[in-house]
C-alpha cells in the first residue's frame, strides 16, 4: 500500500488532502508541523511526502533538507502564491515538484502520480517517447519521425538531466549547475538558447512545446506522453 505523508498545518487543507488521497487508495499520515513531519518521515517510511512551505515551527525548506540527508523519497511542495522565492529554494533543496494553492483535485493527483511514477521508474532510462520523437538515453541517440537527429554533447546532457527528472520541475540553477557547472548557475540565457535547440530538434511544433515546458520564473519540466 502506498503511504503518503502530509505535512500541513491548516486543518482545512489537511482534511482536503486526507479525503482526496484516501479516496484514491493511498494511506495518509498527517503531521501538523515540521518537527512531527521529520519524525513521521522516519518512522512511517512514506512513499511520498507532501510538504507545506509555511509551517508553524520551522521552515519547510529545512524539513526537506532534513529528509534529503537520508532519503530520496519524492517530495511535493505546497506553496502559496506569493512564495515564489521560497518555492524555488525548496526545489533547489531537493523537492521534486510543487503545487500552488489553491489547487484542484486533478492537479494534485496528477502531480502525486507523476512523482510516484518517477520514483518507481527503473534507473535505466530506456527509451523516451516524446510525441513523434524518440530518445534512447543509453545509446545517446535520438530520432524524430523516423529520421535520426544529431544531438550535441550539451544538448544531450541537458536532455538527460531533464529526463532523469521526468515530469518534475527542474530549476534554472539545477540545470546550469549540472550541465555547465556551478560557476554558471546565473547564465540563464544559455538555457534559453539550448532549450530552443532541443525544441527545434525534438518538438513537432517548437512554437507550442508539448514536452519541453517552461515553468516561468522557475525552470523547466520535461513531460513524456499523456501528462498535464
Partner DNA sequence: AATGCGCGTAAAGACGCCGTAAAGAAATGG
Partner DNA sequence: CCATTTCTTTACGGCGTCTTTACGCGCATT
Binding site for DNA (CB under 7 A): 150, 152-155, 172, 180, 184, 187-193, 195-196, 199, 206-207, 214-218
Q: What order do you get walking across the sheet with 133-136 strand by strand?
A: 127-130, 133-136, 141-144, 147-149
Nearer CB in complex with DNA: 61/172: 172
C-alpha cell read off for 215 = 515553468
Q: What is the per-residue DSSP string for 63-116?
A: HHHHHHTT----EEEEE-TT-HHHHHHHHHHT--EEEESS--HHHHHHHHHHHH
- Helix orientation angle between 84-93 and 60-68, rounded to the nearest 10 degrees: 10
Nearer CB in complex with DNA: 119/177: 177
Q: What is the DSSP letter of 203?
A: -
C-alpha cell read off for 61 = 525548506
By CB under 8 A, residue 15 contacts a copy of itself? yes
- Interface with a copy of itself in residues 141-200 (CB under 8 A): 153, 157, 160-161, 164, 178-183
Interface size with a copy of itself, residues (CB under 8 A):
36
By CB under 8 A, residue 207 contacts a copy of itself? no
Return the one option of a copy of itself, DNA, none that residue 146 interacts with (CB less than 5 to 8 A, by type): none
Nearer CB in complex with DNA: 136/200: 200
What is the nearest approach in angstroms of DNA to the Cβ of residue 175? 11
How many other C-beta atoms lie within 10 A of the C-beta of residue 59?
Answer: 16
Mark out the alpha helices in 1-59 (DSSP H runs): 11-23, 34-44
Binding site for a copy of itself (CB under 8 A): 11-12, 15-16, 19-20, 70, 72, 80-82, 100, 102, 104-107, 123-125, 137-139, 153, 157, 160-161, 164, 178-183, 216, 228
Amino acid at each position: 500500500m502506498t503511504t503518503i505523508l502530509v505535512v500541513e498545518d491548516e486543518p482545512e487543507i489537511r482534511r482536503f488532502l486526507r479525503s482526496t488521497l484516501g479516496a484514491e487508495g493511498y494511506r495518509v499520515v498527517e503531521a501538523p508541523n515540521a518537527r512531527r513531519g521529520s519524525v513521521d518521515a522516519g518512522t512511517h517510511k512514506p512513499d511520498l511526502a507532501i510538504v507545506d512551505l509555511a509551517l508553524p515551527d520551522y521552515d519547510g525548506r529545512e524539513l526537506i533538507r532534513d529528509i534529503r540527508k537520508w532519503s530520496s523519497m519524492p517530495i511535493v511542495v505546497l506553496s502559496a502564491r506569493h512564495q515564489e522565492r521560497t518555492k524555488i529554494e525548496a526545489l533547489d533543496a531537493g523537492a521534486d515538484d510543487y503545487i500552488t494553492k489553491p489547487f484542484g483535485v486533478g492537479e494534485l493527483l496528477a502531480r502525486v502520480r507523476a512523482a510516484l511514477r518517477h520514483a518507481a521508474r527503473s534507473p535505466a532510462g530506456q527509451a523516451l517517447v516524446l510525441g513523434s520523437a524518440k530518445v534512447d538515453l543509453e545509446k545517446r541517440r535520438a530520432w524524430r519521425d523516423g529520421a535520426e537527429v544529431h544531438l550535441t554533447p550539451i544538448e544531450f546532457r541537458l536532455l538527460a538531466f531533464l529526463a532523469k527528472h521526468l515530469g518534475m520541475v527542474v530549476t534554472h540553477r539545477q540545470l546550469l549547475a549540472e550541465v555547465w557547472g556551478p560557476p554558471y548557475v546565473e547564465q540563464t540565457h544559455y538555457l534559453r538558447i539550448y532549450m530552443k535547440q532541443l525544441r527545434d530538434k525534438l518538438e513537432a511544433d517548437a512554437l507550442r512545446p508539448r514536452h519541453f515546458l517552461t515553468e516561468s520564473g522557475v525552470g523547466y519540466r520535461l513531460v513524456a506522453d499523456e501528462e498535464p
